[in-house]
Structure 1
Amino acid sequence: MGAALLSAGAALAPAGTAAASTTTTGGRVDYVALGDSYASAPLVPTQVDATCLRSSQNYPSLVARSQGATLTDVSCSGATTADMGASGTAGVPAQLDALSRGTDLVTVTIGGNDIGFSTVLGTCAQLTSTDPTGTPCRTHFTGTGTDQISDAIGRTAPKVAKVLRAVHHRAPHAEVVIVGYPDLFPDDGVGCTSKTVPLAMGDFAWVRDKEKELNAMLARQARRSGARYVNTYTPTIGHDLCKPTGERWIETFAPETPAAPVHPNATGESAMATAVESTLVRHTWHH
């Protein structure tokens, strides 16, 4: 299962030149969406870009429709903070190139790939059999006396800050919004016994806490840069990957609804869109 997740993660990397998805809804708001697979929504119908695995039902598309915005969506599965300012090795253009002085709204979801979260989960899954009721993953990543994932989050913080400075520089009049990651694992820290979630029972609380650390770092960087932070975690509590099909908004390691493993399905993307919209509802656009 771990190998399967790693393979799925590898499949999310860009594999060619991708074009931005541009949607015009008749509005005057110029909206640019930046980010990784939690923004692009790989495998969620309908896929509109085969390289970046971008969906027409991802949260940027839903936000654009609700706001009457013209959307330029350059979110791309596998993206890191480095892909914001530089062309990817597969020829995917720098995401920041989509911005201009006329941009009104920018959303950014980034950071998960910088800390290698998919690889971490793959490692966790592979270690489960060594201590199914214990914490083999936490032990693996913290056994040297330092928490490798917390360290990675700390190293990613200045990279996120750099991205936000670049966004403000290129789009000085835009409202900039960092969209955090939704609730992937049970918020109460209690594990689930589903075979499609192959984590040791004691590791659920640890991976939950690592995601919370990542979101807290993103929220801090948003505040420091004058951006807004959208908390998608709280409104998705109770719909994590341990919940049954129909109740879960995050798919398991072996998805039963179209989505990448441990990623939002269409309902999850809709919940993320609603969270973004709630921060924009009182905003008056200036032109």
Structure 2
Amino acid sequence: MRMRTGFGLAAVASCMAIAAAVTVGRDGGGSPPRLAPPKGPYVALGDSYTAGPEIPGQYGRPVGCERSDRNYPALVAAGLGLRAAGFRDVSCSGAVMADLSAPQSTDHGVNPAQLSALTTATRLVTLGIGGNDIGFGSLITTCVRSGVKYQLEKRIGDGTADRAPCRGRYVSDGTDEVEGKTEAAGGGLAGALDDIRRRAPGARIYVVGYPAILPAEGTDCTAMGLAPGDVDFLREKERQLNAVLRDKARAAGAGYVDTYAPSTGRDACADPDVRWVEPLVPAAPAAPAHPNERGERGMADAVLRTVGAAD
């Protein structure tokens, strides 16, 4: 997902573009022996699901990254008792794998490669990335447009309306375009984790998965403007991405933070007072289809639970 385009009510009606993004999940295997949580230095890497666009309060370095001082890295740092000198958050909205090792351009300037924040003194690294690499923002945009068409056809009584029109645009003749991009993102993650290990050999590294954007079951999701079958399709694509992130993390000897399981029932279609992810028209300060402050807190709790255990 090249993460982040504002999405207001008028934009929903006209199907303008929306950017959605990526985070990380927890290793669900067994009950590993406990380790003392690392005390820093801590470096947070990632895209807009890490940065927290439109969540107060926003601050300007790196430029154009729309990072909040209430995002999950900031809350993790506070939970670990780290002072400012022991914590660096270089996450940036719109980041893809390539932005980890090369400068990232934004609407307001160019930021250094995220991995340049790492040193041999770094003791904790979290990484939430991958959604922009599979084009999840454009995927949601396309599916919303298809959903509007489906609703119009349904309204005029067209009994032949395709219940999953978006799926048909990405899956045909046995080829799944999104699945191919997901596999490629996994390869990019494997390389990034090797680079992180080389730059910060003493660090504990955790890949943070994405929280539930859509309901874990069923297709009732009016707030996202999707055709019923495309709710299933997008849910499947997110789960596939999280599975690849988890598997590549484990293969590299890194931890995985599962934010999907604890966010089940708290997706963008849940009631406003419980949801972690805002719908297309946010009711709380957050970018559309992105975590709100409650979601960032939930993700931070998942990270803190995980970093207290051995990989």
**TM-score, normalised by the number of residues in structure 2:** 0.81
Distance 2:14 2:236 in 1: 24
Residues 15 and 144 of structure 2 are in contact (CA less than 8 Å); yes or no, is this contact kept in structure 1?
no
- CA-CA distance at 1:245 after TM superposition: 1.1
Shift of 1:3: 5.8
Is 1:47 aligned with 2:58? yes
Q: Secondary structure at the residue paired with 1:178?
A: strand
Within-5 A mapping of 1:193-272:
194=222, 196-272=223-299
Residues 5 and 118 of structure 1 are in contact (CA less than 8 Å); yes or no, is this contact kept in structure 2?
no
Per-residue Cα deviation, 1:147-189 (whole angstroms, up to 9, x for no partner): 1111110111111111100000000000000000001100013
Q: Is the 8 A contact 2:15 2:145 kept in 1?
A: no
Counterpart of 2:76?
Answer: 63
RMSD, aligned α-carbons: 1.8
Is 1:84 the counterpart of 2:111 in the alignment?
no
Q: Displacement, 1:244?
A: 1.8
Structure 2 distance, partners of 1:2, 1:88, is 32
Q: Describe the SS at the equivalent of 2:19.
A: helix
Cα distance between partner residues in 1 of 2:16 and 2:80 = 36
Give the SS at the match of 1:207.
helix
Secondary structure of the equivalent of 1:219? helix
* Highest RCO, 1 vs 2 (Cα 8 Å, sep ≥ 6): 2
* Contact persistence 1:134–1:203 (CA under 8 A): yes
Distance 1:216 1:2, change over 3 A: farther
Runs of 5+ in structure 1 lacking a partner?
13-26
Cα distance in 2, alignment partners of residues 162 and 29 from structure 1? 24
Q: 2-side partners of 1:178 and 1:135: how far apart?
A: 31
The number of residues matched between the two structures is 265
State the Cα distance separating 1:145 from its structure 2 match: 2.9
TM-superposed deviation, 1:203:
1.0
| Matches of 1:180 and 1:74, distance apart in 2 | 17
Question: How has the CA–CA distance of structure 1 residues 5 and 272 changed in structure 2, closer, same or farther, with 3 Å as cutoff?
Answer: farther
Structure 1 residue aligned with 2:167: 138
Paired residue type of 2:95: A
Partner of 2:187: 158
Matched, 1:119 2:138: yes
Q: Which ranges of structure 2 fall in alignment gaps of 5 or more residues?
A: 1-11, 22-37, 152-161
Q: Secondary structure at the match of 2:227?
A: coil
| Deviation, structure 1 residue 206 | 1.1
Contact 2:209–2:258 (CA<8 Å) still a contact in 1? Answer: yes
Task: Tell me, in whole angstroms, the C-alpha distance in 1 between the residues paired with 2:174 and 2:289.
Answer: 28
CA distance, structure 1, for counterparts of residue 242 and residue 205 of structure 2: 16
**Whole-Å separation in 2 of the counterparts to 1:129 and 1:224:** 41
1:54–1:76 contact (8 Å) kept in structure 2: yes
1:109 corresponds to 2:95: no
Task: Report the equivalent of 2:5.
Answer: none
Q: Cα offset for 1:139? A: 1.1
TM-score by length of 1: 0.88
After superposing on structure 2, the runs of 4+ consecutive aligned residues of structure 1 that deviate more than 3 Å are 2-5
Percent sequence identity is: 42
More displaced, 68-77 or 226-235? 68-77
Q: Secondary structure of 2:305's partner?
A: helix
